[in-house]
Structure 1
Amino acid sequence: MGILKLRKNKKFSYTPRYYDDKGEGSPFEIKHKFDEHRKTVGANKGLKGTFNDALNDLKNNPDRQANKRILIIIAVLLLVFLFIIDFDLSIFLPK
């Protein structure tokens, strides 16, 4: 068992007594509401694959206003953090 590898869950072939196979999927399948719309959910692809999928989701998002809002919030929080640690921003300005 590796240190960085995740352990797979055990699977059993149990079917409930009163389960109808014609229903909508398995009653034991736990699925999030938006899983079919996301690319980042699924098999563990590693950090690089997850990051690339998240960037593709961000680029292909039809709601551009939300993307701009997120970037503005990140920029404001970054400037507040730099102000708290007393970072000198004059190194980025030309003399």
Structure 2
Amino acid sequence: MGLIKLRKNKKFNYTPRYFDDKGEGNPFEIKHKFDEFRKTVGGNKGLKTKFNEAIEDYKNPDEAANRRILIILAVLVLIFLFIIDFDLTIFFSK
């Protein structure tokens, strides 16, 4: 009647539609495209190790990216000052 025996799970032979048949990689693995360039992704590292690696990445940034961030930040600050009608003449002496 089913009181003693447990029902067995159904098994399916599933292959993903867009998985190449060469067998490269795991089709069920979800991986971000920038994971191979990051130090803080992967492994079961502790919080302290992840934090220290993030600080190391911050200390050695790419100079072009750093310049780009500064330019974007300056443009956003100027747009904000324009929106709130800030008077920039207080910075210039006559």
Q: Give the alignment's TM-score, normalised by structure 2.
A: 0.46
Q: Give the alignment's TM-score, normalised by structure 1.
A: 0.46
Higher RCO (CA 8 Å, separation ≥ 6 residues): 1
Q: Which has the larger radius of gyration?
A: 2
